[in-house]
Amino acid sequence: MMAESRQLFTLFWPILIAQMAEHAMGFVDTLMASQAGPTDLAAIAMGSGIWLPLTLTLCGVLMATTPLVAHHVGSDNEPASAAVLRQALSLSLILSTVALLLLNNVAPLLSLFQLATKTSDYLGAISWGIPALLLYQVLRSFSEGFGRTRPIMRIAIVGMLCNIPLNYVLIFGKLGFPALGGVGCGYATSVVMWLMLVLGIHHMRREPLFRQARTAFLWRPPELRSLIQFVRLGLPIGLALLIEVSMFSLIALFLAKYGEETISAHQITFSVTGMMFMIPLSLSLALTIRTGQLIGRGQLLAARFSILCGIALTTLFALLNASLLLGAGRQIASAYTEVSVIIDTAVQLMWIAALFQIADSIQVAAAGALRGFKDTTATLIVVFISYWLVGLPCGYWLAELRGLGVFGYWWGLLAGLSLGALLLATRLYRISHASTPTLHCPTVPGHNRMQ
């Protein structure tokens, strides 16, 4: 078990650092835009509520690249990964066109709100980076399918480090550039997206493992049948992410009437637990890679064992996160604010958040393993049932009809995540035991790609 845990950890920790670096870019954007004034910060907040869910959904569709490539790598059919890459790149160009059209034509919708002009300008600025973001997502998922996660980590760190000076120059007007405020933040993010794409292409060109896949960059018309199969696998991933994001967005809207203190306490707790969620999320991505490669090799028993190790690891981290929330919740909240009412409310919310750490970790780990089995539709159905039919209605009932306020919504989250963990774990058990152990075969030499 220790050996398999080390394999997973080798995949996991670079993914975690990459996730943290990308998360830090959003934090830096918010922090630096706030120095330009509340109007710019509000415009970025409104714009982010539009472009982030959109791109998260589209990137989710392209994440199908990872399990498909991992299966080919595991089955020692690496040349077939070039076909997957080609289809993913073609699809990313199609999705980029859709994103550009949507983000540059939201003026009628924004006209209903204040800050319409500045928000529209911010979305227009950031839209030019979306094609690079989607193309890079394909290269990232492709590299991860081979188990090559460290280069992705390095690219994310470079992107984060470049984001800070670019924001400074374009937001505040340095080095001869005009002061663009929040709009400059959008342009800075776009530049970083293109930089990461250039670094991703460089990684593809210099990596010997990808030599046979480079033919994917030679233009050929998309194969409609293969493209449809890719979308069938990726679309449920993207929609599941959209369902999750939209649930939290609705909760934030419902809380608007409860006052600034309640909203602030909710945001603090959401921020802290969101950072903690990077750990099980990264393990989930590692499980997708490891499970996909082992299934591709026909090693079903090894895949089951890897899943068991992954769930054990994510449960251990969940217990550590829960202990931190229970033991240091007040200190954490105090780092955000000095208002006692906000601190007290946030501490109570962190107690509820501590209770669903295990459920949240298990459900995301199970979803990652199911992607390794190329089983994504069931996850979409479970997420819809757990979040939209149980979690959100239950939270609304407790908050609005039973008078629990913000705590009701968080108890609803606990109910939805617990149901999701149960259903996804059950689905994973059935899928992993559906095939016979005769799939187990000796390890294919030369497949230790973890680096």
2/5 Cα distance (integer angstroms): 5
Residues 6 or more apart whose CB falls under 8 angstroms from that of 255 comprise: 262, 263, 266, 406, 409
Per-residue confidence (pLDDT) for residue 14, from 0 to 100: 95
Q: Which residue has the tokens 């990313």?
A: 92
pLDDT in tens, 192-225: 999 999 999 999 988 887 877 777 666 677 778 8
How many Cα atoms are found within 13 Å in the side-chain-facing hemisphere of 292? 31
Is residue 310 within 8 A of residue 371, CB to CB? The reply is no
> What's the whole-number average pLDDT of the chain?
88
Query: Could you list the mean pLDDT of each consecutive 10-residue stretch along the chain, which spans 451 residues?
Result: 81 94 85 77 79 93 96 86 90 94 80 69 92 97 94 96 94 89 91 97 88 71 84 96 88 83 87 91 96 93 94 95 95 88 94 94 96 95 96 95 94 96 96 61 37 39
Is residue 295 within 8 A of residue 369, CB to CB? The reply is no
145/285 Cα distance (integer angstroms): 10
Which H helix or E strand runs over 47? Answer: helix 38-62
Q: What spatial distance separates the first Cα and last Cα of the chain, rounded to whole Å?
A: 20
Per-residue confidence (pLDDT) for residue 116, from 0 to 100: 65
Q: Which residue has the tokens 């470049």?
A: 162
Q: Which residue has the tokens 């950890």?
A: 9
142/201 Cα distance (integer angstroms): 12
121/186 Cα distance (integer angstroms): 9
pLDDT in tens, 270-317: 889 988 999 999 999 999 999 999 999 999 999 999 999 999 999 999
The secondary structure of 133-174, three-state, reads: HHHHHHHHHHHHHCCCCHHHHHHHHHHHHHHHHHHHHHHHCC
Q: What angle do CA 356, 277, 2 make, to 5 degrees?
A: 95
Q: Which two tokens stand for residue 173?
A: 């007007």
